[in-house]
Structure 1
Amino acid sequence: MGFGEGVVRREDPRLLTGQGRYVDDFGHDALAVAFVRSPHAHARIVDIDVTEALDVEGLVAVYTWEDLPGRVGEPLPLLIPHPSLTHGRTGYPLARDVVRHVGEPVAMVVAADRYLAEDAVDRIAVEYEPLPPVVGIEAADRADHLVHDDVPGNLGGILRQETGDVDAAIAAAPHVLEFRLDIERSAAMPLEGRGVYARWDADDETLRVYSSTQASTSVRAAIAAKLDLAPRQVEVIAPDVGGGFGVKIVHPWPEEVLVPWAARLLGREVKWTEDRREHFVASAHERGQLQRVRVGFDDEGRVLGLDVRILHDHGAYTPYGIIIPIVTSTQLLGPYKIGAYRAEVRSLYTNTLIVTPYRGAGRPQGVFCMERTMDRIADHLGRDRSEVREANLIQPGEFPYDQGLTFQDGRPLVYDSGNYPELLRKVRKLIGWDGFEEERASAAASGRRLGIGIGCYVEGTGVGPYEGGHVEIDSSGRVHVSTGLTSQGQGHQTVFAQIAASELGVPIEDVRVTTGDTRRFGYAVGTFASRAAVMSGNAIALACRKVREKALRIAGEALEADPADLEITDGVVHVRGDRSSAVPLRTVAVLSNPLRYAFDEEAGRATQFATAASPDRPPVAPGEEPGLEGRGYYSPVRSTFAAGAHAAVVEVDPDTAEVAILRYAVVHDCGRLINPMVVEGQIHGGVAQGIAGALYERMAYDESGQLLNASFMDFLMPYATEIPRIRTGHLETPSPLNPLGIKGAGEAGVIPVSAVIASAVEDAEGLRVTSMPMSPDDLFELRLRARDDASLRTARASRAAAR
């Protein structure tokens, strides 16, 4: 059954014409919240004096940690515990005694509007006793100072994964290389920052919360637990969300606890909307790692043993545990067969902002490590970089392929399907790999400096534990689909509608999709890890199949036909091969309800009429339910694994060291394609973020823990002018693990980009690229060091010759 061809995104007309509704579009008369945030990276709170703030007209309340009752004032939850996380720590909603990063909330102000709230914030005097800050991975590892007094060595945990005898494999290898790689911090930076709006209904004791979140049901559970409410008393709605990319998956943020708590306490509507500086210093970052690699390989470039030691900066707290290092250490292997492998990750506390998953979630770092390793092997052996990769690829006949490690879902790291050699072949053709040397020579003749790079990756997608879907057909024939995970631009309203329309045999125009609203669907996990299509897509398909089965059964009774002989086409149930014997789905929906309503078109009103029940059975048969609806859940045995290959041609300015990307190619395999246009959009957006991370974006902390570029004036991002046209190709190897045969695609574009750009720049310059991002300044410094090194070598050679 196909999903339909040429289906365009259904969300876009509404969003592009300004009809979207975001959190800040709600609650115009609500009280406004602002926060006193720490100006210090590490300090003890000596005193908080709110006296002057009390004179601000329109002030409603000021709260510090001491004002927070019961569970509200307890530390925020550790969301993903792990045996290797021996010293997990989370912060308080408002700082208690000590602040551990710039931007940590210290006090909350509620006032008539945001301007007045900010005025009050400015008048609150906080006395701090500064403590030595720990900034940077190496400083954390040296542990001259501690972020948490009770965490020895700043070490949150050590994660080790190993297959085979790595030391023996490397010792026996004909060739061995050792080197260091660095990846700096970056961040998601969605166009819409975080926001929370809450209102308490005292009459029915319910709390409604609107949040710009990727996990509305999880936020509901957290708020209910913190405020001692039953989950049914809390409704959480994610309206239109202006980008997430992982930063909005944390649940709950301090603000998601404090704003609903204040709304209930005050009996008023309360709202907080994050400003851009707050997002820089008080949300979350990612990426920062230092990697030390030791690799042994043979004359063909096959990796016999790989030993990777990683220092990971997880910031001041660990709400997301060590999920990023787990992903890095496992996805590092990519599409390759490695003879023996060991990864050891030391996850370290620093006095900087917390680290949580950002699009790619540890995979860009892992792929950077592996793909840089492949390039080093090729350079050492004097072999073509793509041929070295090809020599290590898992072959199509080897699936399912067990890498012998444990993935982020706690299940074995087993790749379900793929054709990695074909991905590599297709991307080589798409980028023009085989003819590049002629292109390079032609450019060099006119003084231009070109380079080409390539990179492969595997992405675990569709992580469990579950998602659900609900499908209902009403008496007008409309199909209402709901699922609990949220949407922030991925095209869920289009893709889920396609699945429902395909499964039910109805026009896609008749399908309406709701996501992220706990009133419609109360149990879900969330939108992250490229899981939405795999998880909710399959859950919706299963729910549709229940509805379809019931519809055929009811229609069979009306048509006096065997349900097995019926099919649904364009919303009409008919005998296969005979459309004259038919009944519309809207009529089937009416027939499914013992208390029936039909629409009288001439009278323009709905008419109720009772069921003529058979005298020997009740109107609702045992085991049946009124209505034409169904609910389904999908829970996978393990993750699916998408894969791909990227390649790029860059030009590097010989004078300014600026890097321009001339061509970029992507070949991706996300299993069965639901909507090629949506997948291409995901890839294009991901590549743009990857280019940003490779050449522009970094979080520049100074030695005191101050973020020096906490604004869009100083945090560089590419414009459309810096993003090339992206050539794409697709490969479909259906997953055997789920009914639809699909894999995720949301993060594929971003994952290998830094590795590919590094490979291309290195190829153009003939200089070793070991860190990302790579700015013109960085590249210029590399050139200077290379010249100094060359001069030193020449001088040494001259002295030796003279002797």
Structure 2
Amino acid sequence: MSNSPANAPVNATGIGASVKRREDFRFLTGQGTYTDDINRPNQTHAYILRSPYAHARINGIDTAAALEAPGVVAVFTGKDIAADKVNGLPCGWLIHSKDGSPMVEPPHPPLVLDKVVHVGDQVAVIIAETCEQAKDAAELVMVDYDELPAVTTSPEALKDGAPLVHDQATGNLCYDWHLGDKAATDAAFAKAAHVTKLDLINNRLVPNAMEPRAAIGEFDRATGDYTLWTTSQNPHVIRLLMGAFVLGIPEHKLRVIAPDVGGGFGSKIYHYAEEAIVTWASRKIGRPIKWVAERSESFVSDAHGRDHVTHAELALDADGKFLGLRVQTLANMGAYLSTFAPSIPTYLYATLLAGQYTTPAIYAEVKAVFTHTVPVDAYRGAGRPEACYLIERIVENAARELGIDKTELRRRNFIPPSAMPYDTPVALQYDCGMFEKCLDQALNLIDYKGFPARKAEAKARGKLRGIGLASYIEACGIAPSNVAGALGARAGLYESGEVRFHPTGSVTVFTGSHSHGQSHETTFAQLVSDRFGIPIENVEIVHGDTSKVPFGMGTYGSRSLAVGGSAISKAMDKVVNKAKKIAAHMLEAAETDIVFEQGKFTVAGTDRSLTIGDVALSAYVPHNFPLDELEPGLDEQAFYDPKNFTYPNGTQIAEVEIDPETGVVRIEKFVAVDDFGRVINPMVVEGQVHGGIVQGIGQALMENCVYDPQTGQLLTGSYMDYCMPRADDVPSFIVQYHEEAPCTHNPLGVKGCGEAGAIGGSATVMNAVVDALADLGIKHLDMPATPLRVWRAIQDASVPLAAE
């Protein structure tokens, strides 16, 4: 990726500079501090006993033998939790069905009482002096299970007579929701010259961050304070949910710390049972309690992602213009409602079904379904990859059916820049975008015109070659709070930032955003360095501790810079405004004559100036200070509640080669051209895009969470069965961006980049795979396109390979 000379930064560590990540030194030298690195005085260790059954009644639990085991301090079950009036885990988003009724929201106990509803459900916690002792003692806990029938897929769960996950959820239905104008959409289909239909499965994924989840709970009897250390993407939300809704702890008595976190991808947004268990139990035993998940445990305890079954129809006129889109989706919620789960297949999915296109009528129906599986929630992209996959697969199919080049069909239907701001038929308003420019740039980078020759050369070698693209758009930085609240959000979606100048001229920034790989310590410091004209090494970024930052909403949905960075920007504006008053007093000039540029306050038209460091010192040593107007100090806080989503967009193109004898798909080229608005650090952006693309490739070609349909056992419960992409599975990516369409409604003009690669990645690769197989009469292939699945499709093809 390259930055044009016109955009070269004035400040070598400011906006637009590829500053090396400041956090990397401690990570690469093993000096990071993760939750598992923390050990408290007199600490104990917890092991969670989990259900081996997907669905079973608990007739009784005998803990006597376990309590006598060496090193055991305590054993608690659901009855102990219930006796202390501990509540279930709350869901953070309320969805209403078509008929206006609220979704079915079954209890989600930290430890189950009388019935387990998925493999991995929490049955008991064993606390001992060492983790090994707790694990050994867990084998002595005797649970009398009465196994019951289970159901694992949403279509099966909706059938008459299917086993019920929860008695209150009739037919296993959580909600039956819709969006769009049904009558207008039906009318569009009635006049269509062509209708393309497609059945899709968006396969279930298991998030696999480098660092498994961990939690340490500690109660201080002297003060009555609780402290929780946890691997979380949003510690303030954990404090709110766990303190107010589960344990009933006053907010000022609960401190939540999320130190270095080794990746999250959405799976560490939520409030999990283990956090409540160790916090509650620490008071019961009067000692700190530490729990660290094993990798195999994470497969059955961390929220999964995706899992949609969809039927889609696209109506087109005789010229290939889109007239209407109809979508019916079954979304698997798993056994419980995770924190943000209900919003994923509704307001983060159906609202993006317009994509980059001028489709005038869209109608989407979504049924959320309970099954005897691990709960499903946001995973990198959260609803947006599912929407992009649907749109870009059906557009590709329509182009093939109509005999129109895939790029030409998209061009005919793109929303032009002149139409911005553009109101889609599914509730969103795009503020800006240059979709055709991204497409053209990507086509040039991959040499689209030269593809036929490359395909012919591959055919001569006995290989199948295909090219596929996806033109994506996503909605990031969920907002505004009042709109989100009206749509069911049970929390505000703003962000806070505090900027504190010290007397020596250095700066500490306190942000409610949380970094778990996003490089906040670098990019946020670049914002400050650029605005104040101070060295980046003089800027400290503080996050992840509720005792230091008043409030925040954490990091997810590519919101850090657009929302968190904007809050910091507003706080910096306040600092400059106050500092101008001080500088005017010190320079004996009118405030209106003071100009602030590159770290200096100057009296306009003169050479009289002060550095911002000079002003900061005067603020704290107020010998020459307007005390009648201002309080001493230079420390300002701001909140930012966005006016709208931001809309990153772009085009990704993949070129693949398939070996028909083995079904192995090899990605030969991958190009991504993205519109992220204003870019703060090109190197960080490139890294974020690379990571997202790899996850998109993983879903397209390898990753698939599979349950046994009879027993509900997870068949892909370890890396022996769940395949993740490695370095040799991906090519060297070509990644570029342009900054010609900055966001129009946040002060930084930024849009977000963290999920872009994952939004379009799976659709891009699958379009390329199907393109390679199209000459065999293959129109669709479900993800993942494993060698076996591809090989079988070739064997079953309507056009024999030899004839092709």
Q: How far apart, CA to CA, are the structure 1 residues paired with 2:147 and 2:73?
A: 31
1:589 to 612, 616, 626: 616
Amino acid at match of 2:522: T
Q: Which amino acid aligns with 2:781?
A: T
- Match of residue 765, structure 1, among 758, 773, 796: 773
Is 1:142 paired with 2:175? no
Larger-Rg structure: 1
SS of alignment partner, residue 407 of structure 2: helix
Whether the 8 Å contact between 1:454 and 1:646 is mirrored in structure 2 is: yes
Do residues 116 (structure 1) and 144 (structure 2) align?
A: no
| Residues 362 and 425 in structure 2, CA contact (< 8 A), matched pair in contact too | no
2:575 to 531, 537, 547: 547
Residues 510-538 of structure 1: per-residue CA shift (max 9 Å, x gap): 11111121122121112111111100100
Match of 2:342 among 322, 325, 346: 322
Select which of 229, 232, 236 maps to 2:252: 232
Distance in 2 separating the partners of 1:290 and 1:451: 26
**In the aligned structure 2, how far is the partner of 1:577 from the partner of 1:67?**
74
- Is 1:279 aligned with 2:333? no
Residue 401 (str. 1) matches residue 422 (str. 2): yes
Distance in 2 (CA, whole Å) between partners of 1:588 and 1:207 is 40
Partner of 2:187: 168
- Cα deviations by residue, 1:176-220 (Å, 9 ceiling, x for unpaired): 232311121112210111111122222222222211001100111
* Partner Cα separation in structure 2 for residue 72 and residue 219 of structure 1: 19
Residue type matched to 1:312 in 2?
Answer: A
> Aligned residue for 1:438?
453
CA contact (8 A) 2:94 2:103 kept: no
Aligned match of 2:53: 40
Aligned to 2:176: 158
1:445 to partner: Cα distance? 2.1
Percent identity over paired residues? 39
* Equivalent pairs, count: 762
Whole-angstrom distance in 1 between the partners of 2:687 and 2:632? 41
CA–CA distance in structure 2, aligned partners of residues 347 and 685 of structure 1: 29
CA distance in 2, matches of 1:486, 1:118: 32
2-side partners of 1:392 and 1:687: how far apart?
25
Q: Distance in 2 between matches of 1:147 and 1:352?
A: 10
Q: CA contact under 8 A between 1:463 and 1:639: conserved in structure 2? A: yes
Deviations along 1:30-87, one digit per CA (max 9) or x if unpaired, are: 2101011000001111110011102211111111111125675322112111223521
Taking the TM superposition and a 5 Å limit, the aligned residue runs for 1:283-294 are: 283-294=302-313
Instruction: Quote the residue 1:752 is aligned against.
Output: 760
Spell out the pairing of 1:385-784 with structure 2 (5 A cutoff).
Answer: 385-406=406-427, 413-464=428-479, 465-568=493-596, 571-575=599-603, 581-593=608-620, 596=621, 620-621=627-628, 624-703=630-709, 704-732=711-739, 733-766=741-774, 767-784=778-795
Is residue 2:208 matched to residue 1:195? no
Q: Is the 8 A contact 1:367 1:752 kept in 2?
A: yes
User: Does 2:403 correspond to 1:382?
Assistant: yes
Matching residue within 249, 267, 283 for 1:247: 267
| Structure-2 separation of matches of 1:731 and 1:424 | 12
SS in 1 for 2:770: helix
Give yes or no for contact 1:196–1:212 (8 Å, CA) kept in 2: yes
Q: Report SS of the residue matched to 2:656.
A: strand
Whole-angstrom CA distance in 2 between matches of 1:578 and 1:275: 66
SS in structure 1 at match of 2:448: coil
Question: Conserved in 2, the CA contact under 8 Å of 1:454 and 1:756?
Answer: yes
Q: What does residue 363 of structure 1 align with?
A: 384
698-707 or 515-524, which deviates more: 515-524
SS of structure 2 residue aligned to 1:306: strand
Contact 2:106 2:168 in 1 (8 A): no
CA deviation map 1:708-753 (0-9, x unaligned)? 1211222111111111111112122111111111111110001111
Task: State the Cα distance separating 1:265 from its structure 2 match.
Answer: 2.6
Task: Give the letter for the 2:418 counterpart.
Answer: G
User: C-alpha distance in 1, partners of 2:762/2:39?
Assistant: 42
CA distance in 2, matches of 1:423, 1:572: 39
**Structure 2 CA distance, aligned partners of 1:648 and 1:63?**
52
- The answer to whether the 8 Å contact 1:246/1:528 transfers is yes
Contact 1:646/1:665 (8 A) holds in 2: yes
CA distance in 2, matches of 1:620, 1:45: 70
Between the aligned partners of 2:624 and 2:675, the Cα distance in structure 1 is 53
Q: Is the 8 A contact 2:743 2:751 kept in 1?
A: yes
The alignment partner of 2:355 has SS state of coil
Q: CA deviation at 1:577?
A: 6.7
Query: Structure 1, residues 318-361: CA drift from partner, whole Å, max 9, x if none?
Result: 13242111122121221011132111111111100000100010
Deviations 1:474-531 (Å, cap 9, x if unpaired)?
A: 0121100011121100011111111112222222221111112112212111211111
Q: Is the 8 A contact 2:203 2:699 kept in 1?
A: no
Instruction: Say if 2:38 is the partner of 1:26.
Output: yes
Question: Counterpart of 2:360 in structure 1: which amino acid?
Answer: G
Contact 1:474 / 1:628 at 8 angstroms: preserved in 2? yes
| CA shift for structure 1 position 694 | 0.7
Change (3 A) 1:176 1:223: closer
- Deviation of the 1:227 alpha carbon: 3.1
Quick check: 1:268 aligned with 2:268? no
Quick check: 352-361 or 560-569, which moved more?
Answer: 560-569
1:383–1:403 CA distance, 2 compared to 1 (3 A): same
SS at match of 2:548: coil
Alpha-carbon distance in 2 for matches of 1:747, 1:321 = 18
Aligned to 2:489: none
Shift of 1:273: 0.8
1:604 paired residue number = none
CA contact (8 A) 1:648 1:756 kept: yes
Contact 2:354 2:425 in 1 (8 A): no
Structure 1, 501-510 or 490-499: larger mean CA deviation: 501-510
Helix, strand or coil: the match of 2:180? strand
Q: Gaps spanning 5+ residues in structure 1: where?
A: 407-412, 597-610, 794-803
Counterpart of 1:182 in 2: which secondary structure?
strand
- The 1:190–1:121 alpha-carbon spacing in structure 2 relative to 1, beyond 3 Å, is same
- Does structure 1 conserve the Cα–Cα contact (< 8 Å) formed by 2:86 and 2:247? no
8 Å CA contact 1:200–1:264 kept in 2: the answer is yes
Q: Aligned equivalents of 1:584 and 1:758: distance in 2? A: 56
Alignment partner of 2:111 out of 81, 94, 107: 94
CA gap of 1:533–1:613, structure 2 versus 1, over 3 A, is closer
Q: Which amino acid aligns with 2:518?
A: Q
**Superposition RMSD on alpha carbons, in Å?**
2.0
Q: Is the 8 A contact 2:59 2:144 kept in 1?
A: yes
CA–CA separation in structure 2 for the residues paired with 1:181 and 1:612? 71
Deviation at 1:565, TM superposition (A): 3.8
Deviation at 1:654, TM superposition (A): 1.8
1:667 shift after superposition: 0.6
Secondary structure of residue in 2 paired with 1:771: coil
**Residue 651 of structure 1: how far off its partner (Å):** 0.7
**Which region of structure 1 is more displaced relative to structure 2, 694-703 or 322-331?**
322-331
Task: Say if 1:612 and 1:725 are closer, same or farther in 2 by CA, change over 3 A.
Answer: closer
Q: Is the 8 A contact 1:174 1:299 kept in 2?
A: yes
Could you tell me how far apart the structure 1 residues matched to 2:262 and 2:628 are? 47
Corresponding residue of 1:601 = none
Contact 2:53 2:712 in 1 (8 A): yes
CA positional deviation for 1:306 = 1.4
Q: Do the aligned partners of 1:182 and 1:770 also contact (CA within 8 Å) in 2?
A: no
Report the 3-state secondary structure (helix = DSSP H, G, I; strand = E; otherwise coil) of the residue aligned with 2:426.
strand
Secondary structure of 1:755 counterpart: helix
Q: What is the alpha-carbon distance in structure 1 between the residues aligned to residue 16 and residue 685 of structure 2? A: 14
How far residue 90 of structure 1 moved from its aligned partner, in angstroms, is: 4.1
